Amino acid sequence: MAQSRDISSYIIAPDPDAARLTRAVQGIDHTGARIDMAVVEERPLTIFLNNREIVTAMTIGDYPEYLALGFLKNQGMLAKDEDITGVDYDAELDTVVVRTASQTTFEDKLQKKTRTSGCAVGTVFGDMMEGLSDVTLPDIPVRTSDLYALAAQINRTPSLYLTSGAIHGTVLCKGDQPLVYMEDVGRHNAVDKIAGWMLSENVTAADKILYTTGRLTSEMVIKTALMGIPTLASRSGFTAWGVDIAKDVGLTLIGRMKGQRYVCLAGSHRLITDADPSTIADEPRKAGRKAG
C-alpha cells in the first residue's frame, strides 16, 4: 500500500520506490518462509577535481553531483569564492568531475587523511579541524516546539530508512519545516549531498537546522560547523569527541530525540523551551535501558 504522508514541504524528498536505489533479494525469515526483500544498492562513485582523482566513495547513486560538490566543499578543497565552471557526471563510468576556473592546490590535504568511524569508511582530512578555528556560528534561537514538529514529520516521511534500513538520512530544516532530505549508506555522504545542494543553490546556513538519523560523531559535528549551520539534532547518541568539538565551536548538539525526550550536550543557550513535553506523544524505551 502506498504511504500517504504529506511531503509537500520538502524541496527534495526521499524516493524509496526509485528503481536504482534498491534490489529485490530472496531469502527466508525466522519461520522458514520465503520472502522477497528490497535491499539498498551500493555502487562506487569516483570524484575528480579538475584532472585529479580525489576519492572513490560507496554510495546509493542518487544526486552524484551534489555529493561531489559537498564532499569537496566540506574537505576544504573548494574555497568560499571558488569559481566552479562545471560539474559533469558520467553514469556509465560512475564518475563526477568538478571543474574550477583556476587550478586548486590540495596535495597537502591528500597527505593528511584520517579514517573516521563513519559508515562506508568515511574520510576526513586533518586540516578540516584547522578550518574550525575560523568558524563563528550565529546565535539563532531554536524552539523545542520546532524540534518536536521536525522529528514527528521526518520520522514518518516515506524513505529508504523506513522501508529498507541499512541507510542514514540527513535533513536540512528551517524552523519547523524540513526542506531537503538526503539518504545514503554513510551519514557523511548524506550531509555532503546537502552541502552540495546548498552550494549549488546559494542557500544560507545561519537560520537552518540539520537533522540526522545517525550518530553525532566528530565528523558530523565538524561538517555541520563548517557548513555554518548552528544546530545539529539526531534520534541517535553522541561520541565524546563530537560533544567536545561542538562545545569548542559553539554548536548546539541535541541527541536521543525520541518522542517527548531529548538530550542537549552542547549549546543549550540557544534552546527556547516553548513546548510542554507531556503534550508530545512518547516512544517506548528500549528494554534494558535505565530511565533518566
Task: State residue 123's pLDDT score.
Answer: 46
Question: Can you name the residues that pair with 255 across neighbouring β-strands?
Answer: 263
CA dihedral 115, 62, 173, 208 (to 10 degrees): 50
Using DSSP bridges, classify how beta strands 231-234 and 209-212 pair: parallel, antiparallel or unpaired.
Answer: parallel
Can you point out the beta strands (E) in the chain?
22-28, 34-40, 43-49, 52-59, 84-90, 95-100, 113-115, 123-125, 142-143, 168-174, 177-184, 209-212, 231-234, 252-258, 261-266, 271-272
**pLDDT band at 107; cut points 50, 70, 90:** low
The one-character DSSP state at 287 is: T
Task: State residue 166's pLDDT score.
Answer: 82
Answer yes or no: is pLDDT of 155 > 60: yes
With residues binned 3-state (H G I as helix, E B as strand, rest as coil), the percentages for the chain, rounded to 5, are 30, 30, 40
State how far Cα 216 lies from the chain centre: 10
- Reduced to 3 states (helix: H, G, I; strand: E, B; else coil), residue 1 is coil
Q: What are phi and psi of 275, to 5 degrees?
A: -125, 140
User: How many angstroms separate the CA atoms of 56 and 69, rounded?
Assistant: 14
Contact indicator for 59, 42 with CB cutoff of 8 Å: yes
Q: Higher model confidence: residue 214 or residue 266? A: 266
- 287 contact partners, CB below 8 Å, separation of at least 6: none
Question: Can you name the residues that pair with 18 across neighbouring β-strands?
Answer: none
**pLDDT band at 81; cut points 50, 70, 90:** confident
Instruction: Domain 43-133: state its class.
Output: alpha beta
Answer yes or no: is pLDDT of 101 > 60: yes
Answer yes or no: is pLDDT of 280 > 80: yes
Task: State residue 176's pLDDT score.
Answer: 96
Q: Higher model confidence: residue 181 or residue 165? A: 181
- Please compute the mean of the pLDDT values over residues 174-196 and round it to a whole number: 95
- Please compute the mean of the pLDDT values over residues 101-116 and round it to a whole number: 60
**pLDDT band at 80; cut points 50, 70, 90:** confident
Cα–Cα distance list, 12 to 59, 142, 197 (Å):
18, 23, 10
Assigned superfamily of 142-279: Cytidine Deaminase, domain 2 (3.40.140.10)
- CATH 3.10.20.10 spans which residues of the chain? 43-133
Task: State residue 102's pLDDT score.
Answer: 85
Mean pLDDT lowest among 47-51, 102-106, 149-153: 102-106
- Please compute the mean of the pLDDT values over residues 105-118 and round it to a whole number: 51
Report the mean per-residue pLDDT for the chain.
Answer: 87
Task: State residue 122's pLDDT score.
Answer: 44
The one-character DSSP state at 250 is: T
User: How many angstroms separate the CA atoms of 166 and 286, rounded?
Assistant: 20
Task: State residue 6's pLDDT score.
Answer: 59
- CATH 3.40.140.10 spans which residues of the chain? 142-279
How many helices (H) does the chain have, and how many strands (E)? Answer: 8, 16
Answer yes or no: is pLDDT of 41 > 50: yes
Task: State residue 104's pLDDT score.
Answer: 72
Q: What percent of the chain has pLDDT over 70?
A: 86
> In this structure, how many other beta carbons lie within 10 angstroms of the beta carbon of residue 23?
12
